A and B are shown apart, each in its own frame.
Chain A
Amino acid sequence: MAMVRTPLMFGRLPLGGRRLLFALALTGICLAFAFPVLWLILTSLRPESGVYYVHRGTEFTLASFAEVLQDDRLLQAFFNSALISTLATIFSLLVTVSSGYMLSRFRGPAAQTWFGTIYVFRCVPYISWVLPLYFVAQSWGIYDTYIGLLLPHIAVHICFFSWLMKGFFDGIDPSMEHAALIDGCTRWGAFIRVALPSAIPAISALAVLCWLFTWNEFLFALILTGNKVPVITVVMAQFVTEMGLRWNLMAATAVMALVPAFLLALFGQKYVIRGLRI
């Protein structure tokens, strides 16, 4: 095997022992990272009376899920989160793909200014613009509405995703587009018909990431919505204080909120990893 031996700690052990230690270490690591989620799932399956002693007892039940599913507010929150995440994904890709393309294909002061703007706004902490966005949303009459939550969710990804998209387009050879231009294609034609199709894997990666980020986002909804547009993360955070002692319901809700993200990640794993690698 032409592999590089980087790890250091098992050097002096015989091969069998080394393998065993390696396997043990890996198992331990996997367990450490999976344990909180496994524990949450286990808690959600315990009956109300058994929830305080999750590690003891063997009764399991789906009653907590049944109870949680009867809560209208929660169902509405699931629906809202899914809707906002999907719409935000579609629109932020529409907007950032072209902006990333511009950053990748053009040089000069305009591109540099746009890049500088993006870097600076990427650094601005969310609270610094979402807090005053609360006044703005109220004076524009979009506080606590779908549109008032959706648009900031699109805006927040512009900086990071334009930057990622620039990186993806940098990796695509522009000579095909030049050839298309010489053959009489317009610039838009070269962008849409030549560059876009080769960027599909990268766009898929961003789509998965964007959906996950939006589904998991908390602060925007906390500040920009009241009672009319509940989303799942805010509803859960309220639960912690309101139903502080009913951990089985808490856990069942959290498990249900994890499921869509996990499914998406499982099927889009290849894309997620690529997206996270910048």
Chain B
Amino acid sequence: MFGEQQRFMLFLIAPAALLLGLFQVVPIVIGANASFRDWALYNPKKTWVGLDHYKAVITDPAFLEVVLPNTFIFMILSVAGALALGLGLALLLNRPFRGQKIVQTVLMVPLMVAPVIAAIMMRWMFNDQFGIVNAVLEGLGLEGQPWLVERWSAFGIIVLTDVWLWTPWFTLLLLAGLQSLPKEPFEAAAIDGTSAWRVFSHLTLPMLQPVIVVCVVIRAIDAFRTFDIVWTLTGGGPGRSTELFSLYAYVLAFLNLDLGRGSAAAIVGGLIILVVGIGLYRLVDRVTKT
């Protein structure tokens, strides 16, 4: 039925496709089915309820006014923060100097740390009674803050943790990008006595743009599904004010035990990021082609 080459191609992807089908496609289909039903533990009949769960989710003030803004603000702040810091560091490190290997090794540290552990560290450092941050503040004569008890400071610490975790990743990728740029334009600019800022904005940045865009797209998509650090740092609190989308779906399904509505929330979030992801893919396509 197939040619020899087709059979070879099929065999190469068959195991991957099978696993993908069984553990991602099948669950998504079953989740979609559950999202139209009253799929809770106390209702063994799993009554068909149509779009009720979707209506409930997209009209839920907690979802519209807290979770969605939180998720997008988190995505923008954490990607922008890590990109700005990472780019700055990459520019700083893009020259030969003694101890380069040591600096690079130290910068690798956050990449090895599990998000759960990073969150635990931050929770300890920002502990209101015994944390080092408040100890330092009090040593300076300032007042310690109940960091994780107020919405925006807690949210800030979640962003900070994420930026700490991901800045090194940006640094390494952008440094690799910088080192692969052609040298001649920079030498010409140096001969012309171009100011450092103009070199950066007219040469470095445009030439680095494809790498930056790819990094931002990958990180933005991953930032959207952040769960571990929020769960461990604040558990979505105080109240539900720092919940991100993944946590919202988890809470609905496993703490409120409403699996139908949780599935609906998971699908709504999946659709949102799919739209964002396709838009970003177009962007990459356009940037890398020009």
Label chain A's interface by main secondary structure.
helix
In contact, A33 and B246 (Cβ under 8 angstroms):
no
A-contact bits for B211-252, CB 8 A (1 contact / 0 none): 000100000010011011001100100000000011001100
Within 8 A of A (CB), among B1-44: 4-6, 8-9, 11-13, 15-17, 19-20, 22-24, 26-28, 30-31, 34
Q: How large is the interface on B (under 10, 10 to 19, 20 to 34, 35 or more residues)?
A: 35 or more
A15 at the binding interface (Cβ < 8 Å):
no
Stretch at the interface among B52-60, B62-70, B118-126: B118-126
Bound Cα distance from A121 to B121, whole angstroms: 32
Taking CB atoms, residues of chain B closer than 8 Å to A261 are 112-114
A186 shortest CB reach to chain B, Å: 9
Interface of B is mostly: helix
Bound state CA distance, A242 and B92, in angstroms?
Answer: 43
Known: A37-B121, A155-B24, A277-B172. A95 touches B19 (CB 8 A): yes
A85 to B217 Cα, complex, angstroms: 27
Bound-state Cα–Cα, A74 to B13, Å: 38
| Docked-complex contact B23 and A155, CB < 8 angstroms | yes
Whether, in the assembled complex, B94 has its beta carbon less than 8 Å from a beta carbon of chain A, the answer is: yes
Q: Is A184 an interface residue (CB 8 A)?
A: no
The reply to whether A123 and B221 contact each other, CB–CB distance below 8 Å, is yes
The answer to whether A132 and B23 touch (CB under 8 A), given A11-B196, A125-B224, A219-B227, is no
Q: How far is the CA of A126 from the CA of B245 in the complex (A)?
A: 11
CB of B76 closer than 8 Å to a CB of A = no
Contact among A26, A158, A236, A250 with B124 in the assembled complex (CB-CB below 8 Å): A250
B17 and A114 form a contact (CB under 8 A): yes
**Chain A residues closer than 8 Å to B30, beta-carbon distance:** 132, 135-136
Cα–Cα, bound, A76→B246 (Å): 28
Pick from B6, B8, B124, B199: contact of A188, CB under 8 Å: B8
A277 touches B124 (CB 8 A): no
Interface residues of A in 1-35 (CB under 8 A from B): 1-8, 11, 22, 25-26, 29-30, 33-34
Evaluate contact between B9 and A6: CB separation under 8 angstroms. Answer: no
Are A187 and B15 in contact, with the CB atoms below 8 A? no
Instruction: Tell me which residues across on chain B come within 8 A of A106, comparing CB atoms.
Output: 5, 9
Which residues in B have their C-beta under 8 angstroms from that of A11? 196
Would you call A129 an interface residue if the criterion is a C-beta within 8 Å of the partner chain's C-beta atoms?
A: yes
Known A114-B17, A131-B253; contact A126-B227, beta-carbon cutoff 8 A:
yes
Residue of B nearest to A121 (CB): B24
CB of A130 within 8 A of chain B?
yes
Any A CB within 8 A of the CB of B106:
yes
How would residues 82 to 114 of chain B score, 1 for a CB under 8 Å from any chain A CB and 0 otherwise?
000000010110111101001111111111111
Residues of chain A within 8 A (CB-CB) of B263 are 131-132
> Across the interface, do B16 and A273 meet the contact criterion of CB distance under 8 Å?
no
- CB-defined contacts of A218 to chain B, threshold 8 Å: 114-116, 227-228, 231
At the interface, yes or no: B269 with Cβ under 8 Å from chain A? yes
- Residues 131-153 of chain A: 1 if any B CB is under 8 Å from the residue's CB, otherwise 0? 11111100000000000000110
Do B200 and A8 touch (CB < 8 A)? yes
Q: By the criterion CB–CB under 8 Å, are A132 and B125 in contact?
A: no
CA distance A267 to B215 in the complex (A): 26
Q: Which of B8, B183, B204, B250 is in CB contact (< 8 Å) with A187?
A: B8
A-B contact pairs, 23 of them (CB 8 A): A4-B94, A29-B92, A33-B106, A33-B110, A36-B121, A37-B121, A39-B125, A95-B19, A110-B6, A123-B274, A125-B224, A126-B225, A128-B28, A132-B27, A132-B34, A132-B266, A135-B34, A152-B23, A154-B23, A218-B231, A233-B116, A258-B113, A265-B111
User: Which A positions have Cβ atoms within 8 angstroms of B?
Assistant: 1-8, 11, 22, 25-26, 29-30, 33-34, 36-37, 39-40, 43, 51-55, 94-96, 98-99, 101-102, 106, 110-111, 114, 117, 119-136, 151-152, 154-156, 158-159, 162, 187-188, 191, 212, 215-216, 218-219, 222-223, 233, 236-237, 240-241, 247, 250-251, 254, 257-258, 261-262, 264-266, 269, 272-273, 276-278
